[in-house]
Amino acid sequence: MLACITLNRGTYFLVVEAGYPQGEGYYQLHISACSDPCQDNLFAEGTSEIQENLYRYVQTVDANSPDSLYHGPWPSRNPCQENGGWYGFDYLSWYDNDFGWRHTWPGYNSSSIQSVDSAFVYICSWDVDNFCDMSPNRVTPVSCEKDIVFIDEQMPNRYVEELAGSNQALSITKIPFYLSDITEDGNLFVGLDIDYFSHWCNWAVNVHRSQLVVYYRENRPPFVPVGIYPACVTGDSDLCVTVTGPDPADPDGDPVNHVYHWYLYDAELSDWVFQSLYTDRCVPASETTVGQTWKVEVVAIDNHSARSDPWTVTFNVVFDCGSNPVIGWDYGDHNPQCYPTEVWGNGGPANAISELNIAWLGETVTADVFPNSVNLDEGDDGVVFVDSLNWMPCDSEEVDVTITTGPGFNPEIHSLYLYGWKDGDYPANCSFSDRHCDGTAYECIIRGAQITDMAASQSRTIRFRFKDPGVLLGQGRYDGIFRFRLLSEYMACDAAIASVDRILGETEDYIKTDLQLPVQLLSFEAVQENESVLLRWSTASESNNDYFRIERRSGDAWRVIATRIDGAGNSTTANHYNYRDASVEPGTTYEYRLISVDFNGTAQVVSTNSIPVVQRDPQVVEEYKLYPNYPNPFNPTTTITFDIKESGNVSLRVFDVVGREVAVLADGFMNAGRHHAVFNAEGMPTGLYIYKISTNGYSATQKMILLK
């Protein structure tokens, strides 16, 4: 039997010339797709981050590798090859064709690597005859075909692993090894002893490639330090900073030390001059004079010598702290039950407003007697929301932010950093610290952008683009809750939300209503049913939505196929729609777009989808499949569709999020074909449910949301 062969694209003729004598018996020819474990275990070359702070390094050695890794192929003098030949990668190799190769890991001694989790060699080979005949005494093998792999310094005294596989088939062998073999010098030597126990010509192996795979974690630098310092210093004041956070100080949990670099501004040089005598957190008052400007950069260093970005604090030494006194404070004005909104003595956010003001957002900044919690700060005028009627969760959106400097601003002394937040799941979880859109959209939408090239008494507008963190699935329409802050120092987003800036800046809080399209779409699906296409869509909410229109692409143009499907007008609950396109032909891919039209006649493209239509026998089910329920979200009923390739016992059950069984929709024998089951969640609480099918060794699950 020929188990598997690989063919290039083309047309082939298969001729079978065989038969039983006198017409007895018959042959059966079975042709099916080959499984390819080598392809299934092929890793992308190079370094990639496969999850947060877990990296994978992959190096492949094969017949095309340079001499520094592989010297083959070599001429074979094996008696099993009558006319000679070659051995090495991509050649059948026999018992005296042993060969080896080398793997390298350039990053083995990098200071940025924190730890190596695991490492493996994956060898792809063909025709591995892994066999031993232990008869008759069951102690000494009569004949034995084993291909032994040796790793690094262990060869040739000790084998590590045997090539795995079977006759006339591709196989993959995964070989772990001691991490020290690769971390000591970055080199890993691999040797292959073919037919280790015997010298038989009918046993050979073809090795196609070897991959070194190393999983490791990088040492991340510590977080930027934060702390406290005096807002004003005179000639009688020590210049001191005190680090108070963050906690933890390092993302990897490493211990950190803090170093202090002090600088004195030289007006003649127009530059900062490093003061090497001061290495602690304070400079004594006896070392300063009125009129000087000092700054300190505080850097956290972990036990791997990784350094954080600096926390920078600037001190202007004045004769009297009343020379540019703080005349008030600007606070946030969001609901303090959800977002930090306190006076500066209780945690902030707060920004000092000086008599000769330094920098703020927009045209004006006002001093607040106490924080407002109902969006009443009249000085919130620095942000313009671009295209504010057409925001879509997880899409790129823009804001224009205006930064203004006053007569007290000195670009050589003052630094400006802009932060912005948007709550993506208000009111379900009112905070500014989450991620949405599969972890790609931060609620911290502007992450400490440094504003440069500004002089005193100047205004500048900058456009910022970010991914809208969006809202929770099925939540419906929502208010956009924003906070923007201009600060004098850089810090982590979580610290900047409510920090107290004693030098400059402003905190502006916004509540923007109707920040998304008239239709918030949950799904838009195209499903082939027999020789038609069923279009299904669900909305979480609709505002001023008159009707939907469906168009299908025809060449370079779009053609209307459904003129009007009435919408829900104004709705904050889920609605479900469908339309069947029966004028389709097998062998063609169709592209559709869904358009909403409001009561003013304004049309907006809500979503697009495409589907290839194939020729099908409606009576034949070709695979096991569990489909998404429809509608989803639902209240209180939804339909679950599933295909059964072969008749048998079927179990279809529904569970809640903690794994408790809440319904049994099927539990018994069913014929092959497509089936439907209705789930009625009457009396059950709103939330996520999971349904699971099991039949004939097939098992699958889907999720659905009950939304009341």
* Phi (first) and psi of residue 510, to 5 degrees: -130, 145
SS3 137: coil
**Secondary structure class of 427 (helix, strand, coil):** coil
| Helix, strand or coil, per DSSP, at residue 642 | strand
For residue 484, list its beta bridge partners. 420, 508
Q: Which strand (E) or helix (H) includes residue 192?
A: strand 187-193
Best CATH choice for the domain 37-218 from the list 3.40.50.2300, 3.40.47.10, 2.60.120.260, 3.20.20.100: 2.60.120.260
Which of 273, 304, 100, 305 lies closest to 191, judged by CA?
100
Pairwise CA distance, residues 585 & 589, whole Å: 9
- Per CATH, is 226-318 categorized as 3.40.50.720? no
Peptide bond into 79 cis (omega under 30): no
What pLDDT, on the 0 to 100 scale, is given for residue 475? 45
The CA distance from 596 to 521, in Å, is 11
Q: State residue 1's pLDDT score.
A: 45
User: In this structure, which topology does domain 517-617 adopt according to CATH?
Assistant: Immunoglobulin-like (2.60.40)
Give start and end residues of each alpha helix (H) in 73-188: 180-183
Could you tell me the residue ranges of all domains in the chain? 37-218, 226-318, 326-512, 517-617, 619-708
| Domains 226-318 and 326-512 are alike in CATH topology | yes
Q: To which residue do tokens 């981050």 refer?
A: 49
pTM: predicted TM-score of the whole model, two decimal places:
0.42
pLDDT attached to residue 579: 94
**CB neighbourhood size of 330 (10 A):** 28
pLDDT for the residue 577:
93
HSE-CB for 683 with a 13 A CA cutoff: 3
Are the beta carbons of 316 and 463 closer than 8 angstroms?
A: no
pLDDT for residue 13: 61
Per the CATH hierarchy, to which homologous superfamily does domain 326-512 belong?
Immunoglobulins (2.60.40.10)
Identify the residue whose tokens are 């992959």. 58
Neighbour count for residue 32 (Cβ, 10 Å): 6
Nearest residue to 243 via CA among 280, 190, 216 = 280
Neighbour count for residue 261 (Cβ, 10 Å): 17
Superfamily of 619-708 according to CATH? Macroglobulin (MG2) domain (2.60.40.1930)
How confident is the model at residue 419, as a pLDDT? 96
Residue recorded with tokens 């099927």: 666
DSSP structure string for 552-566 = EEETTEEEEEEEEEE
What is the separation, in whole angstroms, between the first and last Cα of the chain? 60
CA–CA–CA angle 416, 419, 423 (5° rounding): 170
| Nearest-angstrom CA–CA distance, 600 and 327 | 50
Distances (CA, A) of 253 to 233, 303, 435, 589, 663: 35, 10, 22, 53, 45
Buried b (16+ CB within 10 A) or exposed e, 57-82: bbbbbbeebeeeebebbeebebebbe
Instruction: Give the CB-side neighbour count of residue 607, counting CA atoms within 13 A.
Output: 19
Q: What b/e string do you get for 549-561 counting C-beta neighbours within 10 Å, with b at 16 or more?
A: bbbbeeeeebeeb
- Whole-angstrom Cα distance, residue 706 to residue 689? 7
- The three-state secondary structure class of 50 is strand
**Dist CA 163 CA 173 (whole Å):** 6
The stretches in the chain having pLDDT less than 70 are 1-35, 82-84, 130-144, 153-160, 319-325, 342-347, 369-379, 388-390, 392, 425-429, 470-479, 513-518, 616-619
pLDDT of 133: 58
Residues 6+ apart with CB under 8 A from 554: none
Q: What count of residues does the chain have? A: 708
> Residue 270: its pLDDT value, please?
73
Model pLDDT, residue 140: 52
